[in-house]
Amino acid sequence: DLLEYTEPKFGYTRESSGFLNLVEVLVEMSGPERKNFLQFATGCSSLPPGGLANLNPRLTVVRKEGEGGDSCLPSVNTCVHYLKLPEYSSKQVLRERLLQSTQEKGSILIS
């Protein structure tokens, strides 16, 4: 479902290592971690009936440009389900930064 219903754009394609690493990290997450990610990326704690296929708008992943490298955190625009994801040096770094971002409850990061 993730590959079919998640749209990579603006710096990412379905073949990009950063996008594929994100998909792998999401698949490997525990249930509570996935719920936190969903809340972070969409502002909702659960998917609509029918799952990702019925999420509107679709989850879109774009490459976050700028300084910071591996220390830069992902950011989102929840209104349009837009995940701005830096290109990290490894899948492990991506996982750490994504979990860090999704666990920062009550924080607002505007980018």
**pLDDT for 59-73, tens place per residue?**
999 999 887 889 999
What is the structure's pLDDT at 34?
94
Q: Is 44 one of the annotated active-site residues of the chain?
A: no
What is the structure's pLDDT at 45?
87
- Please tell me the distance from the alpha carbon of residue 48 to that of residue 9, in angstroms, as a whole number: 23
What is the structure's pLDDT at 66?
82
DSSP 8-state symbol, 44: -
Asked if 70 and 94 touch (Cβ cutoff 8 Å), the reply is no
Two tokens at 96? 């750490």
pLDDT of 102 higher than 90? yes
Asked if 95 and 26 touch (Cβ cutoff 8 Å), the reply is no
CA nearest neighbour of 22 among 110, 111, 97, 100: 97
DSSP helix/strand/coil, 71: helix
What is the per-residue pLDDT across 13-42, written as a single tens digit (0 to 9) for each?
Answer: 999 999 999 999 999 999 999 999 999 999
pLDDT of 93 higher than 60? yes
Q: Which of 45, 68, 79, 107 is catalytic?
A: 79
* Residue percentage of the chain with pLDDT more than 90: 84
Q: How many CA atoms does the CB half-sphere of 101 hold within 13 Å?
A: 24
As a whole number, the mean pLDDT across the chain is 91
- Lowest-confidence segment of 44-48, 80-84, 94-98 by average pLDDT: 44-48
